Each structure stands twice: as structure tokens, then as C-alpha cells.
Amino acid sequence: MWASGGEAVRELLSTPGALWELSKAIYNKELSLNDLILALGSTGTDIAGTVDYILRHSDSVWFGNPSDKEVYEYGRNLGHLLQTVAGSGSGAATKVISKTAPKTANILSKTEGAGKGFDNFNALKKNLGPAGEGKAWHHVVEQSQIQKSGFSPQQIHNTNNVIAVDSATHAKISGYYNSIDASLSDTMRVRDWLAGQSFETQYQFGMDVLKRFGVTK
């Protein structure tokens, strides 16, 4: 089982056959993007604009004479769609894709159970509800790593990457990440030192920190 949707998207990008299969299904209107949106639930509503873009531009990108900018935008939107499906860990969404693009679905299915990812923290909090009295939602891999390490928002704002922590401890842990821990580096703050490490390494680091602050056993 993969820890994040990002890994699935990376594998998809290195499997041109799967991407072509998916694109063909979209172009031939064999893949029901409306069913896909429904299967993704609230996340699906958020990406309706992305799906609309893909539908409107598939013809010109695949069989027209598109500019570099059009190809780039199309790829960006397709990537966003895939990342959303992978980040959602939604079995229903993967099932919709499997009807017309089994290779793609096979790769995406590895993310089932990987948690549900969102585009931003507000959307995640809306899905999860309050952390509890005197508690805050704490990211195991920090939000700053979207910028610093290039992780996707869906990996970071993911149900598997947050834990309810009492607010005082949350502040202490945030302070630790802002500290130069001279045992790790004599010049870099912890969050800067972590930048560039894999998601899995940073997740394990974050879980270890939670343990050392007495949040988990």
C-alpha cells in the first residue's frame, strides 16, 4: 500500500501507456467524468472546473495543432485530476476509471486506504470537523513542505497526515520545527533541514517527534 497519492501520480507519469489509455477514454467520451465527480464526493465538486477544461480541450490537444502553452495547461489539468483521484484514496473513483482505463485504475488502486486528500487545509478541516475542545489539527508532514519539498496539497492536507493534538503541545511542536536543533544541523531550522527528504522519511520523522512530545506512545 502506498503512503500517498503523489507516488501513484509519479508512477502514472512514468507509464505513458496508462496515460494514453486514460486520455483516449476521455477524448472518446467513454469515461464518464460526471460519474467520476460524483464518486469523489465533495472533492469532486472542487475539481469540476478541471474536468470541464479537460473535456473542452481534449479534441484540440490530441488531434489539432495545439500550442506549447495549451499542451502545458492540458497536462497540468490532467495531472490535477489524477492527483485528486490518487489523493482521495477513493475506491469508487478508481472503479469509474477502471471501466475504460484499466491500466490507469490499476496504478491508482494502490492508493486506496492512503487517506483522503484535499486542495487546502480549510477543505480538510471542513471534512474532518473540529479537532476537539482545546485541540488543533496538527500536520505530521508540515504544510511548509508543499513549497519546500514540492509535495502536493493532497498529500499534506490528507486525512492520513493530520492528528488532533492539544493546542499547547501543537505550539511547542511548531516551535521545535522552527528551532535550530544543533544535534541535527548547526545552522538550519528543523523544517529547512527536512526539505528535500522523501515524504515517507518526513512522515516517520513527524511521527517520532509526536512520540517524543508525548502525543503518541
Partner 1 sequence: MKKNISPQSLIEQYINAGIIMTEALPNGDYKTNNREAKKLKKIKTDFLENNLDLAKQVFAEVMKSENDKARSIAAADALRLNILIEQAIDVLEDVAKRADIIGFGAETSLKIWRGEFPGKTL
Which CB, 126 or 212, lies closer to partner 1? 212
Where in 119-138 is the site for partner 1 (CB under 8 A)?
none
Which CB, 16 or 182, lies closer to partner 1? 182
User: Where would I find the beta strands (DSSP E) of 26-115?
Assistant: none
C-alpha distances (whole Å) from 137 to each of 124, 171, 196 are 10, 11, 24
The least distance separating partner 1 from the CB of residue 75, rounded to whole angstroms, comes to: 29
Q: How many residues bind partner 1 (CB under 8 A)?
A: 26
Which CB, 128 or 180, lies closer to partner 1? 180
**C-alpha–C-alpha distance, residues 111 and 38, integer Å:** 19
Residues contacting 210, CB < 8 A, separation 6+: 138, 140, 163, 165, 173, 216
Residue type at 210 in one-letter notation: L
Which CB, 126 or 172, lies closer to partner 1? 172
In a 13 Å sphere around the CA of 100, the CA atoms on its Cβ side amount to 20
User: Where would I find the beta strands (DSSP E) of the chain?
Assistant: 135-139, 162-166
Which CB, 7 or 21, lies closer to partner 1? 7
Q: Is residue 140 close enough to count as binding partner 1 by CB under 8 A? A: no
The least distance separating partner 1 from the CB of residue 3, rounded to whole angstroms, comes to: 17
Q: Is residue 59 close enough to count as binding partner 1 by CB under 8 A? A: no
Angle between helix 33-40 and helix 91-98 axes, rounded to 10 deg: 170
In a 13 Å sphere around the CA of 151, the CA atoms on its Cβ side amount to 32
The least distance separating partner 1 from the CB of residue 210, rounded to whole angstroms, comes to: 11
H helix intervals, 144-215: 145-149, 153-156, 167-177, 190-194, 199-212
Which CB, 30 or 181, lies closer to partner 1? 181
The least distance separating partner 1 from the CB of residue 186, rounded to whole angstroms, comes to: 5
Where in 146-205 is the site for partner 1 (CB under 8 A)?
171-176, 178-187, 189, 193, 196-198, 201
The least distance separating partner 1 from the CB of residue 200, rounded to whole angstroms, comes to: 12
Contact footprint for partner 1 (CB under 8 A): 171-176, 178-187, 189, 193, 196-198, 201, 208-209, 212-213
